[in-house]
A and B are shown apart, each in its own frame.
Chain A
Amino acid sequence: MLRVDQLRKSFGELTAVDGIGLEANPGEIYGLLGPNGAGKTTTLSCICGLLTPTSGHIWVNGHDVVRDGVEARRVLGVVPQDLALFEDLSARENLEYWGGAWGMRGQALTQRTTEVLEATGLLDRSKEPVKNFSGGMKRRLNFGCGVVHQPKLLLLDEPTVGVDPQSRVRLLELVREQARNGACVLYTTHYMEEAEALCHRLAIVDHGRIVAQAPLAELRAMAGERDVLRLTGTFSPPAVREALSREDRLEVIQIDETSATLSVADASRRLPAIFSAIHAAGGEIRDTVLRQPTLESLFLKLTGKELRE
């Protein structure tokens, strides 16, 4: 359904996307995970034809998005990271307009619009101009506008940011439903739990490159070997690095004067040994957080960054 091959996009000096390749199939929810500025939005913009790739190819439903963009976009639905709504029109008018843009009409459009309004919890406010909506309501409508025409390929760019937990559950259910109906979903998020709960496959992106790409279970296994140990206090980075380098199955992910993040196998048993090694290197530990292996710890390990600060 979607094939991205060696995609590169540069803005002048800056290469926002640097050789991304991925493939997603109908019925699949494919997660794109990455810190701020990783190039997720840029990738999505290239797929939906807003940006022209510097190099590489993208096929949507077998159509090259650059050469055959109109055909490619016929099956596309987009929920952009920034809102894209007519503030002076009502929720229903927004949905009907965008539905119409994908060729829906008449009874089918009205019915589907009502369905989406219900799913996004906006049915009772559907006649009000969107400018009266709260931020979360706008987000929900923004989501609705992307799915109203039941696209075969749905691009979701952090669609649940700023949405309250109940609404989020409903939105995610809507995404699953799209996938169950055979849509291919490309899902960008900062919420690890969301990705874990939703996605069948994941790609972790950093600096415009994919650093890991696998089915969810495989990624979990990759993460499973080691725990993440996060320490705060005062450290002398070179000395601590030196001291820890003698430890087996331990990796320093990040260290500065006030914090250190380590990836350690079997951490809970080895904590005393690690602490004394750091003390011996002149470090002082004030706070310790030990995390069980999750996708988040894998992410941290791969990118050296917290997903959410």
Chain B
Amino acid sequence: MRFLALSARKDLLRILRDPIALLTWIALPIIMNGMMALIFREGDPMPQGKLLFVDQDQTLVSGLISSAFSREPLSRMILVERMDEPAARKRIDAGDASAMLIVPKGFSDAFFQRKQSTLTLVKNPSARIVPEMIQQAVDIVLEGAFYLQRVLGPDFDRFTSGPPSDLAVAAMSVRTNQLMRQFSYYIDPPLIDLETKVIQQQKKRAPFPVLFFPGMLMLALFGLAVSRSEDIWRERAQGTLRRALATPQNMASYFGGKVLALGAVTALIGALGLVLARYALSAEIHNPAAALLWAPCAGMSFYVLNIIIQLAASDPRSGVMLSMLILFICGMIGGSFFPFEMMPAWLAAIGRFAPNGWLVLRFKEMLQGPIDPVQLFYAFGTLVVLNGIAFYLICVRLRKWSVA
């Protein structure tokens, strides 16, 4: 225990002796996201756009499509205006809307009969985000419709060939119910649900820096973890790992000290970030205690992850390259370079399973609430279990790795 503390102190000293790396990884995400904010700034913190909806079909199906835009969170970002095609064309040509969506006549019939039919989406090239979002939303609705069509196709046929018997209706409702339960995961456009969950609580629109803050902080911690994990190569080259093995102490204390040292530094960064977010950006912090604890937990997890990467690599160069590559990919898809709210929905859906994506989303829940104790327990518990396993494996591997 004393050696663990000694090792943590030693590594803390070593981290602080390299302030450039520390500052780089704090400054880089801030600068990067500051630039993003400048690029995407449209005066308003939330992208806002107009969708011209031309419904030539006037059926339940076309109604469903337009209703997708009246649900949160899209409804707050996109205003739907219904009109006829010539008027819509004039408006979009004049650049007075983000996009125009035409549902052609007979679309509903074609849908039920599983025939080819085409929706027309005209995007305004001068706007960037909103048309993308509209396209995503339409894609999702259509994908959902596709599965519905696949699954319930035979039953649809019965509808189109005259009124069904009572027995057929009953059988179908039983079947539908079963299928719905089975397929609900695929059929419910999951992405709208995902984003709804995150944003719904935001009563007022978050300003850009607040929107960026969780991803930014996680990126800083991730980057710092990458730069510190590189040090394990230095320790091997310097021979200190080997010397540690010749002491009566165990590798768990030695490596644990490193993890704790990074935990201390990331706790400090997290606390500073949260204070800044709270008082300089007036961000809401729903559960400060959890959020304060989450930063070092995330920092240590990133570190453990990157040590695994280093131990798997054949030399320092490839180890660091691999770590950086993963940092950038995860940063892209995991809500760090762009907040999830601004990402294409399909990407956000993948990104929430990226390590930093998962950490960012839990962090957001802690910031924006609500998150109940059970969810908190699962979030921290997941980290403890995964890192515990990783820690054990690393300690076993480090022994061999140090003398190789």
List chain A positions with a Cβ less than 8 A from chain B. Answer: 45, 48-51, 70-71, 73-74, 76, 78, 80, 82-89, 93, 97-98, 100-103, 105, 129, 145
Contacts and interface: CB of A to CB of B under 8 A. Distances in A.
B240 A84 contact: yes
Interface of B: 2-3, 6, 10, 13-14, 17-18, 234, 238-240, 242-250, 402-403
Given A50-B403, A101-B249, A84 B243 contact: yes
A125 B13 CA distance: 18
Contacts of A100: 2-3, 6
A98 B239 contact: no
A48 B243 CA distance: 9
Given A84-B238, A88-B17, A50 B10 contact: no
Contact of B10 (A74, A89, A103): A89
B243 A80 contact: yes
A84 B3 contact: no
Q: 3 nearest interchain CB pairs?
A: A84-B239, A84-B243, A48-B246
A101 B244 contact: yes
Contacts of B3: 100-101
Contacts of A74: 248
Contacts of B10: 86, 89, 93, 97
Q: Chain B contact residues: over half helix, strand or loop, or mixed?
A: helix
Contacts of B243: 78, 80, 84, 98, 145
Given A86-B238, A88-B17, A102-B247, 17 more contacts: A49-B246, A50-B245, A50-B246, A50-B402, A70-B250, A80-B239, A84-B238, A84-B240, A86-B240, A88-B14, A89-B13, A89-B14, A100-B2, A100-B3, A100-B6, A101-B247, A103-B248
A266 to B, nearest CB: 49
A51 B245 CA distance: 10
A218 B18 CA distance: 55
Contact of A50 (B238, B242, B249, B250): B242
6 contacts: A78-B246, A80-B243, A85-B238, A86-B10, A86-B14, A88-B14
Contacts of A49: 245-246
Contact of B248 (A50, A51, A70, A84): A70
Nearest to A146: B243
Contact of A85 (B2, B14, B240, B245): B240
